């Protein structure tokens, strides 16, 4: 018999005929309300793990809620999802919390990652500086993904690069964090960039 039967009567090919697959870790980062949870939820092929809590009055003056008045929840630990980019490549996604008081978790979340996507809201570009500094200091490859919110201003990549003081080698892409294909394209971009940055 070419295929072994396992419990439940389901046929599986022998281990020797299965293609070896590899998995890797990508971090989704950015400022408060930049769209990290939405991004992970849109692209994940599994039900994403979310650690959200309600935004309360205690956040006033701390989390910068002025630009996101309709935001009712916030990530307090991480978001987690998974996407299969190819038959032999699976990405595990870890979304960082955006508020300053939770930044102590970032070092644990990025351990073992090959790269990061920094989501940027051009209405609050200053909220991206900390993430850029964090990944530059740790020499972890990252790309900038400008989340194009409805009604938001559009700026050329060169202007964003200058505002964030980025080197010419760091990719800048646009993304709709609600759209699976758009988020997937950003993940492909950071994966290719990270792989190209690996020592030969």
CB 129 within 8 A of CB 164: yes
Q: Please, how many CA atoms are within 13 Å of residue 43, restricted to the half-sphere of its CB?
A: 32
> How wide is the angle at C-alpha 35 spanned by C-alphas 23 and 190, nearest 5°?
35
* Phi-psi group of 30: left, alpha or beta (phi > 0 → left; psi -120 to 50 → alpha; rest → beta): left
Q: What is the pLDDT of residue 61?
A: 52
Helices (H), the chain: 36-43, 106-110, 129-137, 157-163, 180-197
Q: Please, how many CA atoms are within 13 Å of residue 109, restricted to the half-sphere of its CB?
A: 23
* Closest among 37, 40, 24, 29 to 180, alpha carbons compared: 40
Q: What is the pLDDT of residue 96?
A: 87
Q: What is the pLDDT of residue 55?
A: 45
Which 3 state secondary structure label does DSSP give 166?
coil
- Show the domains of the chain with their CATH numbers: 18-197 (3.40.50.300)
C-alpha to C-alpha distance for 55 and 136, rounded to whole angstroms: 30
Q: What is the pLDDT of residue 99?
A: 62
CB 74 within 8 A of CB 32: yes
Number of Cβ within a 10 Å radius of residue 121: 22
Q: What is the pLDDT of residue 101?
A: 54
* Closest among 129, 122, 178 to 153, alpha carbons compared: 122
Q: What is the pLDDT of residue 72?
A: 46
Q: What is the pLDDT of residue 53?
A: 47
Over the chain (200 residues), the average pLDDT of each successive run of 10 is 40 48 89 89 82 49 52 56 87 80 71 95 90 94 93 88 95 96 96 86
Q: What's the pTM?
A: 0.75
């Amino acid at each position: 018999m070419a295929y072994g039967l396992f419990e439940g009567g389901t046929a599986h090919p022998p281990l020797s005929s299965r293609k070896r697959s590899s998995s890797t870790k990508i971090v989704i980062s950015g400022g408060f309300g930049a769209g990290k949870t939405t991004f992970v939820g849109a692209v994940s092929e599994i039900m994403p793990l979310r650690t959200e809590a309600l935004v309360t009055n205690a956040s006033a003056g701390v989390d910068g809620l002025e630009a996101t008045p309709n935001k009712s929840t916030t990530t307090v630990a991480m978001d987690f999802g998974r996407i299969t980019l190819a038959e032999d490549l699976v990405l595990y996604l870890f979304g960082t919390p955006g508020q300053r008081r939770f930044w102590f978790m970032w070092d644990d979340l990025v351990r073992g990652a090959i790269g990061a996507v920094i989501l940027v809201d051009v209405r609050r570009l200053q909220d991206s500086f900390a993430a850029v500094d964090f990944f530059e200091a740790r020499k972890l490859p990252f790309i900038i993904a400008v989340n194009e919110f409805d009604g938001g201003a559009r700026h050329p990549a060169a202007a964003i690069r200058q505002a964030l003081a980025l080197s010419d080698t760091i990719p800048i892409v646009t993304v709709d964090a609600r759209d699976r294909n758009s988020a997937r394209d950003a993940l492909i971009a950071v994966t290719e960039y990270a792989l190209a940055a690996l020592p030969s």
